[in-house]
Amino acid sequence: MTHLHLTILRHGRSRADDEGVHEGRYDSPLTAQGQAQAQALAAYWQAHPPGFDRVYASTLHRAHETAQIVADALGLPLTPTDLLRETVAAGSGAAPHLS
User: Is 98 part of a structural domain of the chain?
Assistant: no
Overall domain count for the chain: 1
pTM for this one?
0.80
Instruction: Confirm whether 89 is domain-assigned.
Output: no
Is 78 part of any domain? yes
In a domain, 34, yes or no: yes
For residue 97, what pLDDT is reported? 45
* More confident of the two residues 42 and 4: 42
Render the burial of 32-70: b for 16+ CB within 10 Å, e for the rest: eebbebbbebbeebeeeeeeeeebebbebebbbbbbbbb
Q: Could you report the per-residue pLDDT of 38-68, keeping only the tens digit for each?
A: 999 999 999 999 999 999 999 999 999 999 9
- Segment (H or E) for 74: helix 61-74
Range of the domain at 70: 30-84
Give dist(CA 75, CA 21) in Å, integer.
33
